[in-house]
Amino acid sequence: MTFPNPAQLAPPPGGNPEDTGHPAVDAVLRSLANAARLAPAEQIAEYEAAHQVLQETLASIDR
């Protein structure tokens, strides 16, 4: 499966070009941007939390 390059996607109308329009996903993206500033060992917890939120978000689509 391939994913589109985010730079090629059109921004949401009237929104921040980095916003997806889904509050949980947008929060994860912000947390990952903040995690990039942490030491590598400290990033693990942020990545695990982001993964969990994204899994829950995807699972909720089917409900």
**Averaged pLDDT score across all residues of the chain:** 79
Q: Are 57 and 22 in contact (CB under 8 A)?
A: yes
Of 28, 26, 4, nearest in space to 15 by CA: 26
* Band of residue 1 on the pLDDT scale cut at 50, 70, 90: very low
Q: Is the dihedral of CA 36, 45, 27, 56 positive or negative?
A: positive
pTM of the full predicted structure?
Answer: 0.65
C-alpha to C-alpha distance for 53 and 32, rounded to whole angstroms: 12
